[in-house]
Structure 1
């Protein structure tokens, strides 16, 4: 929360005069306007003296909306700089990233993170419809995309799929050094992070490894892609390549740079230059 110092006051514990049982809960969509706050949140705050905000995402759109405002800058900082990993999780992610870099010795420690979760490919959002741009790519399509834009067989690839699925074999056929988190996580951490009922822990690992990779490839368009893009923009890691079906035998990787980067239209640019 140190990044918010001088912007908003953040306290670790509730003040003694505030009762948890009397805090009014207000459901607020992500990235609301100041007018929305004045109309829907401020009256409740003035009436009750405190509010608990529950944020939800009505859409996956992370594009900047018009001219940057002070509120956008604060929201951007809160979204991408306010939270840090607990030390155990931070150390785990670091060890997994280091493991991937070690496996990538022949490519100077560089690796690709691909957001590809097999179960998502069958969901409605990935089915697409006639006339709409393709937004999800399977393992074989990702493999062909990476090969055609110039990645060599020895490239190390991390896939967000938790455990190996036979549908990933086509990716491993072209890129033998393809790994899921199950194969690179330290053995003593598997029970807590992979066998827990809390799948959010796995998503956290995926998010930070995808943010740290040299190249990020979102095979599935959605909120995860948008959030990873924001984190990468903040750290200057602009290599986000969006898959496509390439009819020719080869193409330039730069042609597939995410619009979030090429057009600088991601919300993260509200607080990052």
Structure 2
């Protein structure tokens, strides 16, 4: 090919191509084609670079807000002061003694119920004895877990609280009374008129769920909140170490507190054996058979899981958090007891989130020694760290999950993500069957599924539809899970918008 250059009247260069043979024309076409491809490729690369720059500048800010934002209080704030009709407490010479049952949070809410019951029944409350026969076999006393002097002092205007019965009443006959579950204020008022005629001391062997969730006088509801969120503080050793551990976690940035209820007692109680081998399944069955107060002995594990009654497995939690968009660098604090199956079942979760830590990861052995044989005190540390976390995720809606969620709502509706276990099981099964893969589609499904399950302000749920009689009370949402509206207030617009 020869190229000749000539000039026109405009003095602009004109290129004349003279083709010398067919082979050369082919060569020219190939050269032009290659140039076009190169141009398009370059433009695509520039476009991709621009997209990456745009993504890095805008996307993380949006993602941060979606993942961590807890500014959903919308003007709501705690309001626990008594109304003007509230009268000061009196010094009553009749007493209620209590034996609190269950684990830490079951005892905590039960104690606060007893404070309110003592107020309704015009009685003095003796510092409750704690459960030493529960699954944890903890010998801790009230003063080991709670700040006893502060509890007594802070309730002075509400209920008289004493450490022990007067000596002259230690051997006096006591009315042993199993109070009705979810009872109304009128129940206790009627009981007072009858029982104080014959006795000066009532002993209550169970404290959990002794008061109704709804339809109680507003000042009784506010008293329950003052008792739980103000008076019932943890003891100094627990408070001090708890604050230290929160600070150590915060030194790495934001963190998730994960209450992974994949523990032996919960799996046995619920009969959930998905993913376990035959030996482990039998071990759980034997435990359930040998626990007298667990009424359900034969349980269909598949039905339990399909209805969302099983705790998520560690692997499922990993898929869940990853699909919500949390990066693998996220710090996750495990607010749990001993995980059933140990490290074997934690491997997948740890692979997805390497910064998975426990108490013994962030605390020294010397710091934990004093709590070593006291599971309830150890659980109090988990509770504190969970309440203060940037995001709280419970894998099961037990006493701990409900209590933490309630306090986080009380403190400003901090982000609490409650997994839709029934809906998630459907997605997890599709993954197992090869019908769905982890990726954008799963992320979209899980994110949409939990759009309104992040702890935003809402009124407490009532009983399930179709429930009648006292059974409906069992299905109401716990007062301590969501103390709105009695203990959380807002302006008129904020209330009308929920």
* Structure 1 equivalent of residue 270 of structure 2: 125
**Residue ranges of structure 2 left out of the alignment (5+ in a row):** 1-150, 273-300, 428-441, 461-477, 490-498
Q: Distance in 2 between matches of 1:189 and 1:174?
A: 29
CA distance in 1, matches of 2:158, 2:411: 21
Aligned match of 1:175 in 346, 349, 353?
Answer: 353
Q: Residues 1-273 of structure 1: matches in 2 within 5 Å?
A: 1=151, 2-11=153-162, 14=165, 18-19=169-170, 22-28=173-179, 31-40=182-191, 43-57=194-208, 64-66=213-215, 69-102=218-251, 104=252, 109-120=253-264, 122-125=267-270, 127=272, 129=303, 132-163=307-338, 165-166=342-343, 167-194=345-372, 196=373, 198-244=374-420, 245=424, 247=427, 248-250=442-444, 251=447, 254-258=451-455, 261-265=456-460, 267=479, 268-269=483-484, 270-273=486-489
Q: Measure, in 2, the Cα distance between the counterparts of 1:216 and 1:91.
A: 21
Larger Rg: 2
1:16 and 1:63, CA in 2 relative to 1: closer, same or farther beyond 3 A?
Answer: closer
Return the offset for 1:22.
4.8
TM-score, structure 2 as length reference: 0.47
Could you report, residue by residue, the CA deviation over 1:162-193 in whole angstroms, capped at 9, with x for unpaired residues?
45721122111111111112212222122221
Shift of 1:204: 1.4
Q: Distance in 1 between matches of 2:362 and 2:271?
A: 28
For the aligned residue pairs, the C-alpha RMSD in angstroms reads: 3.0
Pick closer, same or farther for the CA change 1:147–1:24 going to 2, 3 Å: same
SS in 2 for 1:56: coil
Name 2:283's counterpart in structure 1: none
| Highest RCO, 1 vs 2 (Cα 8 Å, sep ≥ 6) | 1
Instruction: Report the number of matched residues.
Output: 262
Say whether the 8 Å CA contact 1:80–1:230 is kept in structure 2. no
- Cα 1:18–1:235 shift into 2, 3 Å: farther
Cα pair 2:270 2:309 within 8 Å, conserved: no
Structure 1 residue 63: Cα displacement: 9.2
Which consecutive unaligned segments of at least 5 residues does structure 1 have?
A: none
* TM-score normalised over the length of structure 1: 0.81
